[in-house]
């Protein structure tokens, strides 16, 4: 079945460091890909999305490119801030069958001032 | 505020009991999703309803059931509760499927089974 694998955390970085969180997926159809973020005590919020190969999603300085050839959707940010501390979830929705969203296990990010 | 309302926010109950979690989707959203978040299993998809009908089913136990009512609110019923059912339960809604539109999540119901 469809699945999402993302790097395990926690990831700890200093403020202004470069961030990469790796995400790979397995899907039989042509999925849409998402990054969601969960701040402490809150629900998940969509951070960015890409619906087809080579699309780049971006928001709040975060970017991810839909790479069909490597089945990847890595999240990057050039300069992280303390306020970026949260849990990040990579997810997919497979248009081929239904449109439930399958999530990775999440990566906890700590940014030190 | 996502516009998705979940009640109650916290629930503590004993093993063997039954509870009902409620979700009010954003105004106009037809799809409702239920997820279970636990430390070891991450975010597990349970079930999706679209305009009152079941649309997709995930790893939902037979002890769990859900429904979506004509006013589009949804309820998740958990029965014969076990300690392992302790988790954060999220509801999300979207206007159609998740294909081209994002899913909006509620703040969750934290269930503790003692």
CB contact under 8 A, A102 and B45: yes
Does residue A97 have a pLDDT over 70?
no
A51 contacts in chain B (CB < 8 Å): 99-100
Supply the pLDDT for residue B66. Answer: 97
Q: Which residue of B has its CA nearest to A30?
A: B99
Name the residue facing A44 among B45, B97, B105 (closest C-beta). Answer: B105
Give the C-alpha separation, A78 to A56, whole Å.
15
Q: Which residue of B has its CA nearest to A35?
A: B102
CB contact under 8 A, A100 and B45: yes
Supply the pLDDT for residue B2. Answer: 84
Q: What is the mean pLDDT of residues B69-83?
A: 97
Question: How many contacts (CB atoms, under 8 Å) link A and B?
Answer: 67
pLDDT band at B38; cut points 50, 70, 90: confident
Does residue B63 have a pLDDT over 60?
yes
Under DSSP, the state recorded for B79 is -
* Cross-strand bridge partners of residue B66: B76
Any CB–CB contact under 8 A between B102 and chain A? Answer: yes
Contacts of residue B76, Cβ cutoff 8 Å, sequence gap at least 6: B20, B21, B23, B34, B46, B47, B64, B65, B66, B89, B91
Supply the pLDDT for residue A94. Answer: 76
Any CB–CB contact under 8 A between B92 and chain A? Answer: yes
Supply the pLDDT for residue B100. Answer: 58
């Amino acid at each position: 079945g469809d699945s999402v694998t993302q790097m395990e955390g926690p990831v700890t970085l200093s403020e202004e460091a470069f961030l990469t969180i790796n995400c790979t997926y397995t899907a039989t159809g042509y999925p849409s890909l998402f990054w969601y973020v969960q701040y402490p005590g809150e629900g998940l919020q969509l951070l960015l999305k890409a619906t087809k190969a080579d699309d780049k999603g971006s928001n709040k300085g975060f970017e991810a490119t839909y790479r069909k050839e490597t089945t990847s959707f890595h999240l990057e940010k050039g300069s992280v801030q303390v306020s970026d501390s949260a849990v990040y979830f990579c997810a997919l929705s497979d248009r081929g069958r239904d449109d439930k969203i399958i999530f990775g296990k999440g990566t906890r990010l700590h940014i030190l001032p | 505020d996502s516009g998705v309302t979940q009640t109650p926010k916290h629930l503590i109950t004993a093993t063997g009991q039954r509870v009902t979690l409620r979700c009010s989707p954003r105004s106009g959203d037809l799809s409702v999703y239920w997820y279970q978040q636990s430390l070891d299993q991450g975010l597990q998809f349970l079930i999706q309803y679209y305009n009152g009908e079941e649309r997709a089913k995930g790893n939902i136990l037979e002890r769990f059931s859900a429904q979506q009512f004509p006013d589009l609110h949804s309820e998740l019923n958990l029965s014969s509760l076990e300690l392992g059912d302790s988790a954060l339960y999220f509801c999300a809604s979207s206007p159609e499927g998740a294909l081209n539109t994002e899913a909006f999540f509620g703040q969750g119901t934290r269930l503790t089974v003692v």
